[in-house]
């Protein structure tokens, strides 16, 4: 009889964290340099991955050592520290090359993991959907492929089950070929899943439901806010990357709806709220590429709610990181509402100066607590206001030989009513004024 062993009963990996600070260490926040804050965040990542952190080391240099990252002298000190503390892993707070991994492992005699590998590991643990699992494995393999030369004993985990190669072929090349084939297979699988996601987007785009995407730095409280707004039960945990797979829920307004046309009828209107994966500094480019179809939920949304942890002293840095990633995705010019979350953790004197956020972001800013509900009502009114701004209703008749009109409406507006007539399709449309000029010739009034 096999005894089940829970995660709590398993022996956790023990590690030392290593960071590198260039020159003066950048802006001081609460007395801590950028390097110190980044290593602290690395510690949170390590704990999220189930690793016990035994110690931290921050090396200050004018530049990175191309061969040993922190320099050969500091590596000797690190090797002694590993031996004295009896740890089996060292995690570096940066992306390392294959050669650097090999050199450092040879110098200190323990396994070396970089920040990117750690983040990918967390994603691998927390991905539950088929798409999420494909995305994570694809990102892992693409990251490992150019680093095989420095992976040492980890190669066996990548090339297992391969027994069809000719005699004399090197294991390294066998692993490379295996990984390339696996990457091709996963890319094809992801294309199929992405097609399904596109169909879902097209279906949503043709409905009357506007789409609002929650974005923000990891652990800012996006899922908690989704639950508060929609009365849903999205998984919430006080850890980095608690949720990976995008979750969609309905938020229904009663009276005063963004699409309200007749308050007397007590009409209810609905928007679709999408919770996206959290962002983080030094987010691996492989992960952004692999998760692009998921992250593009933000690109296709009508409005973004940028959730900011107002209780974190690094909120300005986090806003900057999120904007950089949104820019990479092509979503930075979307209408954005700023939700300064966790104000229940702050005293009045500790509040973020709203004029500073307004000045830089040119967006509506709301102070909220997703936990207690404080300010959430005002945020909802702000969502309604922005989604309804500059939109007009048109009744149009589209001739059947004008095949481009309906796709244009699906891409740029919402169809409220549709009826097929003898001479064309009669449609009631909600669309932004600036996008209505192309279809005004078909207006009935």
Higher local confidence (pLDDT), 234 or 312: 312
Q: What is the pTM of this model?
A: 0.73
- Helix (H) and strand (E) counts for the chain? 14, 13
Residue spans of beta strands (DSSP E) within 198-267: 211-216, 247-254
268-275 and 211-216 as β-strands: parallel, antiparallel, unpaired?
A: parallel
CA distance 427 to 180: 50
Instruction: Give the pLDDT of residue 110.
Output: 92
β-partners of residue 286 are none
Say yes or no to pLDDT of 340 above 80.
yes
What does pLDDT average to over the chain?
Answer: 79
Q: Are 301 and 326 in contact (CB under 8 A)?
A: no
Residue 275 banded pLDDT, cuts 50, 70, 90 = confident
Taking only the tens place, the pLDDT of each residue in 12-51 is 789 999 999 987 767 788 888 889 999 999 999 999 888 9
Please state, in angstroms and as integers, the Cα–Cα distance from residue 27 to each residue in 23, 35, 56, 159, following that order.
12, 10, 21, 44
Where do the domains of the chain lie, and which CATH numbers do they carry? Answer: 12-122 (3.40.50.11060), 127-193 (no CATH), 208-388 (3.40.50.300), 391-442 (no CATH)
Whole-angstrom distance, CA of residue 159 vs CA of residue 156: 6
pLDDT, tens only, 231-266: 777 655 555 665 556 678 888 776 433 333 344 334
pLDDT digits (tens, 9 = 90+) for 281-297: 887 777 777 666 667 66
Range in 300-304, 341-345, 359-363 with the lowest mean pLDDT = 359-363
pLDDT of residue 39: 94
The closest alpha carbon to 14, from 85, 114, 62, 84, belongs to: 85
């Amino acid at each position: 009889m096999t005894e089940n062993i829970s995660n709590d009963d398993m022996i956790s990996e023990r590690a030392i964290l290593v960071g590198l600070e260039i020159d003066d260490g950048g802006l001081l926040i609460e007395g801590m340099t950028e390097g110190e804050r980044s290593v602290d965040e690395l510690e949170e990542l390590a704990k999220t991955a189930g690793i016990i952190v035994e110690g931290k080391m921050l090396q200050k240099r004018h530049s990175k050592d191309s061969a040993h990252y922190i320099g050969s002298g500091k590596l000797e000190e690190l090797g002694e520290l590993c031996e004295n503390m009896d740890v089996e892993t060292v995690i570096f707070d940066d992306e390392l090359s294959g050669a650097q991994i090999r050199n450092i492992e040879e110098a200190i005699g323990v396994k070396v993991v970089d920040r990117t590998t750690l983040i990918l590991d967390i994603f691998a643990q927390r991905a539950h959907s088929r798409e999420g699992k494909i995305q994570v494995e694809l990102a892992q393999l693409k990251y490992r492929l150019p680093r095989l030369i420095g992976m040492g004993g980890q190669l066996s985990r990548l090339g297992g089950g391969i027994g069809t190669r000719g005699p004399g072929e090197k294991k390294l090349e066998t692993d490379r070929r295996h990984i390339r084939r696996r990457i091709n297979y996963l890319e094809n699988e992801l294309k199929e899943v992405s097609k399904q996601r596109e169909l879902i987007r097209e279906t949503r785009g043709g409905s009357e439901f506007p789409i609002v995407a929650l974005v923000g730095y990891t652990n800012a409280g996006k899922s908690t806010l989704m639950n508060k707004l929609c009365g849903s039960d999205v998984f919430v945990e006080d850890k980095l990357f608690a949720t990976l797979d995008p979750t969609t829920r309905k938020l229904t307004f009663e009276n005063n709806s963004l699409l309200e046309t007749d308050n007397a009828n007590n009409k209810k209107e609905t928007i679709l709220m999408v919770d996206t994966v959290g962002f983080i500094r030094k987010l691996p480019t492989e992960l952004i590429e692999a998760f692009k179809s998921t992250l593009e939920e933000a690109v296709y949304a009508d409005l973004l709610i940028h959730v900011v942890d107002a209780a974190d002293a690094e909120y300005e840095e986090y806003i900057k990181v999120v904007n950089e990633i949104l820019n990479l995705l092509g979503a930075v010019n979307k209408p954005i509402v700023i939700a300064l979350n966790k104000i229940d953790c702050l005293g009045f004197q500790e509040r973020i100066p709203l004029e500073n956020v307004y000045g830089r972001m040119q967006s509506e800013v709301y102070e909220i607590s997703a936990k207690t509900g404080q300010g959430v009502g005002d945020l909802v009114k702000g969502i309604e206001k922005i989604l309804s701004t500059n939109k007009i209703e048109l009744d149009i008749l589209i001739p059947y030989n004008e095949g481009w009109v309906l796709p244009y409406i699906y891409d740029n507006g919402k169809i409220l009513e549709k009826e097929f007539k003898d001479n064309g399709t009669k449609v009631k449309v909600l669309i932004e004024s600036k996008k209505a000029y192309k279809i005004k010739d078909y207006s009935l009034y």
